[in-house]
Structure 1
């Protein structure tokens, strides 16, 4: 069984991993309820975690031998996803490609 330290085949090629910050979603929903801000979460619906609402992020490169320029590009892309300057092209609610939606 491989260790949890990243000592598995191919680990040296992984630029980064994504982290889902469920705690952020829980905090956002509780805050919305307490503050009666139903624009954030009207209830009876799904709350989607994203880079934009700090619900998702990339991890650091740890010990991977990745050039700093490449990792800096990943950080730039993450920032552009958060501001909406880059779109994933996928509807976060349906999972459909946006180009397929009418």
Structure 2
């Protein structure tokens, strides 16, 4: 978790039994919440959804316009690799 706001663990147990039960319930609820957050973060569908959103944000602005400064280098690299493959195949076939 990025922001570590865990309370300091008490070194001694103090309080009435009712206070202790209340503290245990509070800790149990926090733990359950943390486990739920971890399950949500680790869910493969959610991981894929976040990755797709990251890639989309890299190539499209929030208003939906294409980001040419990112698209053109990728398109150039694809064309370059395809050209290299074609040249290599022609050399090998001769």
TM-score by length of 1: 0.26
Bigger helix fraction: 2
Greater gyration radius: 2
TM-score by length of 2: 0.28
